[in-house]
Amino acid sequence: MFSILLAEDEPAAARYLTRLISETVPDFSVTRTAGDGAAALDMIAEQVPDLVITDVKMLLMDGLELVSQLNTLYPDLPVIIVSGYQKFDYVRKALATGVVDYLIKPVNAGQLSDLLSRVRKIVASRKQQAVLAYLRRLMCQDCGAAVREGAGSRESSVNLDASVNLDASVNLDASGGESGAGTSFHIALYRNGGLVSRFHPEVTDARGEYTEAGCYKVPGRDGLEWACFAPAEQIGLRDFCHAAAAEMDKSDDPTKTLVCSAAPAAGIELSDRLQELMKSLDRLILPGSRRTHIGIDVPMPEEHWDPVSADRIDFCVRENRWDELQEVFYAIARRWEKIQLPLIAAEGFLRNYLMNLKQLRHTSLNLSELEYAVDAVLAEADSYRDFAAAASRLVVRLCSPGGDDRRPTEFPVIVRELDEWIHAHYAEPLTLESVSRRFHISSSYLSKLLRRHLGVSFGEALSTARIDAAKRLIEDVPDMLLKDVAARTGYQDPFYFSKVFKAKVGVPPSDYHGVKG
């Protein structure tokens, strides 16, 4: 239902138009009526409708002045003018103010139906974009600092601020009421890949989208994770879960995990539910498997310390049996795969074992380096066999006298091609998924290649290429406007570009060789 504020100083005309709208276009409803432009502005300040329909000739503030004020205060709010004036110059003046269209009194049902049919797409798109913006803010509250739970890490949390308010310019309440922030949403969270990296998260510039199935889809903690929302009164839980799963399955990554809330949530509860879903999602991830779950009742896996396997690894380390070490890890991986041990529990085993190595003085690794090493192993885990291979390489590197020499020195051709292609196409709207499709590999494998051979995530590689290009552009054309530099290096938002530039270069682009803002 789309809400309309009607500004009309003649009560009879207001009643007629309200009834005509109700009978002709039932998905539109006049929810408030104002007797003049000033009263209309006061009402809009309390709750912005989806559409304003205003008469032209009114006391205190006429329709054209109202439209002028709305263009300043609410530039995206669509307005329709209704009047008895039929002179072309007056119509042209009204249209020049930015109104959607102009209706001549007396309004007939056919005219009204045709016009609102055209306006419907504008109103729906505006509402969808406003909801997406609200949900993005909800997800982004300290989301960049979110980490998974587990030994040696902070508690998993996006620290969603319960005081986040709905943008006043959008009415989320499908009934057209004033309590937009009270809308209840079904919520789902899915990942295409393993656990969130603490040190090289796959950042994304994606803004989200409204899907054909009627779901709002926004980025999660990194570029491999997405949150789906849908108003509970518009779709059932079963259909919503199927829609979220369909979005997840668009990726060809071997590791896919989806968790849906069993009950809708709204307001402060929405923030709490998201945090619980993130914890549940992390506890479900199984390398190389597709897993789905409804509910937030996923318990934290128990610490999986296997003293026999740990002793076998210690023996291989003490006796320098590096080839046998890999077979020990493979045996552990086969057992974990058989019992479907979640990846977060395997992370705990590896962390505890590396701590044991440190205590036995086999390695001088400090705690921060230990966490970095564990994170690097998890980044390669498309399967438990991958996990085992990466873990054994790590132990060899840390404990073998020639450990660094045992690492592969070959630089795969595909990595070089990836790096060159990113540097050649940085100005395009690249995403991890689009580049993965271009090279016919999965998103997680692309991430793994870049991390292993270049030491960066895809997002880091892309932003480095873009900022390097921006620096060259500023040096070559010092008078170029900041917004043009941003646009030519792949950034649609100049403010976001400035933030990334300063983070990488140390100064904002406006202070780098005197570029103009």
Structure confidence by residue, pLDDT tens digits, 10-26: 999 999 999 999 999 98
- Percentage of residues in the chain having pLDDT higher than 90: 30
Q: Which residues of 330-350 are buried (b: 16+ CB within 10 A; e: fewer)?
A: eebbeebbeeebbbbbbbbbb
Higher pLDDT: 36 or 87? It is 36
Question: Distance between CA atoms of 458 and 460, rounded to whole angstroms?
Answer: 5
Residues 6+ apart with CB under 8 A from 37: 7, 54, 58, 60, 61, 62, 63, 65, 66, 69
Q: Please, which residues bridge with residue 52 across strands?
A: 5, 79
pLDDT at 247 over 90: yes
Determine the Cα–Cα distance for residues 84 and 380; give it in Å rounded to an integer: 70
Mean pLDDT of 166-182: 42
Residue 414 belongs to what H/E stretch? helix 413-424
Nearest to 57 by CA among 112, 20, 12, 94: 94
Band of the pLDDT at 155, cuts 50, 70, 90?
very low
Please report the pLDDT score of residue 426 as a whole number: 92
Q: Comparing 263 with 252, which gets the higher pLDDT? A: 263
Mean pLDDT: which of 133-147, 405-419, 484-498 is highest?
A: 484-498
44: confidence class by pLDDT, cuts 50, 70, 90: very high
Closest C-alpha among 139, 224, 221 to residue 187: 139
Residue 148, pLDDT > 70, answer no
Closest CA to 6 of 49, 47, 46: 49
**Dihedrals phi, psi of 473, to nearest 5 degrees:** -65, -40
**Which residue has better confidence, 92 or 30?**
30
Q: Count CB atoms within 10 A of the CB of residue 504.
A: 15
Prediction pTM value: 0.71
pLDDT of residue 3: 92
* Confidence at 88, pLDDT banded by 50, 70, 90: low
Residue-wise pLDDT for 408-459, tens only, equals 445 577 888 888 899 999 999 888 888 888 887 878 778 878 887 888 888 8
> Which has the minimum average pLDDT: 135-144, 165-174, 194-203, 403-412?
165-174
Distance CA 74, CA 169 (A): 7
Task: Report the half-sphere exposure of 511 (CA within 13 A, side-chain side).
Answer: 8
- Which of the listed ranges 116-120, 290-294, 438-442 does the model predict with the highest average pLDDT? 290-294
Mind giving me the DSSP string for 163-231? T----TT----TT--S-GGG--EEEEEEEESSSPPSSS--------EE-TTS-EEEE-SSTTEEEEEEE
Q: Is the pLDDT of residue 122 over 90?
A: no
Of the ranges 76-90, 239-253, 490-504, which is most confident? Answer: 239-253
Query: Residue 102 is encoded by which pair of tokens?
Result: 């102009």
Q: What percent of the chain has pLDDT over 70?
A: 83
Work out the pLDDT band at 166, boundaries 50, 70, 90: very low
pLDDT tier, 1 (very low <50, low <70, confident <90, very high otherwise) = confident
For residue 235, the model assigns a pLDDT of 93
Alpha carbons within 13 A on the beta-carbon side of 12: 2
Q: What is the pLDDT of residue 469?
A: 93
pLDDT value of residue 364: 64
**What average pLDDT does the segment 232-251 reach?**
94
- Per-residue model confidence (pLDDT) at position 360: 61
Amino acid code (one letter) for 176: G
